[in-house]
Amino acid sequence: MTYSTHGYIQRRRGKYGSSRGDHLQQLTTEFQDTTKIETKEQILANLANFSYDPINYEHFYKLNLVDLFLDCLEEKNQKMIEFAIGGLCNCALDPKHASTILENDGLPLIVNCLSSTNPETVMSAMTTLYFLIASRPDSKTKILTTELKDCLNRYAVYENLRISNLAKVFLEDYYGERFDATE
C-alpha cells in the first residue's frame, strides 16, 4: 500500500475540486450538525478511512479529529465505537496523534474497548495500544499494566484466531511471554 502524495491528490481532484482539508472540514461539520445516527456512522467511517494516510495528519491536527474519535468512544452506539477506535488505530503510530490520545485521557477509553463483543473493535483497540507504545515508548509503563496482561492472556486462548494471534504477539513483544507454534 502506498500513501498519497500531494501531486497525486491534486491530479485526482482536478483543477477546480475541493482540497483534502476542505473535504475533511466539510465531513467534520456535517458530523457535528447532523442528528441522524446513520449519517454520523457513515461520516465517522469515512473520517476513519482518511486517518490511515499521513498526508492527512496536518488536517487532522487542525480539525481535532483525534479528539472527535476519543469522544465517540464514549457513545453507546457500537458502530460509532468501532469506527472511532479504527480511526485512532489508523493514526496512532504518528507521535503527535499518540500524544494527543495519551494527553486527552484516551487510554482508559481504548482499554474499555477491549471488553467489546465486536471483534473489530477489540482488534483495533489492541492494535492501537501496541502502536501507542511503538510511537511513544515513554507510555509503556502507563499501558503495560497487570490488568492488560491478564486481558491479553484471556484473548490469547480466544476462539477468534485473529484476536488470539494479535494478543499473543502483544504478549510476546511487550510482556516477554512465549507461545509454542502449536498454541
CB atoms < 10 A from the CB of 126, how many? 25
8 A C-beta contact, residue 44 and residue 72: yes
Distance from C-alpha of 38 to C-alpha of 44, rounded to nearest angstrom: 10
**129-172 residue pLDDT tens:** 999 999 999 999 999 999 999 999 999 999 999 999 999 999 99
pLDDT the model gives residue 8: 56
**Contact residues for 40 (Cβ-Cβ < 8 A; gap 6+):** 31, 34, 80
**Percent of the chain topping pLDDT 90:** 85
Give the least confident one: 13-27, 36-50, 145-159: 13-27
Report the amino acid identity of residue 178.
R
Alpha helices, H only, 51-143 = 57-63, 65-72, 78-91, 95-103, 106-113, 119-135, 140-143
Distance from C-alpha of 72 to C-alpha of 44, rounded to nearest angstrom: 9
Distance from C-alpha of 120 to C-alpha of 162, rounded to nearest angstrom: 10
This prediction's pTM? 0.89
Report the amino acid identity of residue 98.
A
8 A C-beta contact, residue 37 and residue 76: no
Distance from C-alpha of 108 to C-alpha of 98, rounded to nearest angstrom: 14
Distance from C-alpha of 69 to C-alpha of 135, rounded to nearest angstrom: 18
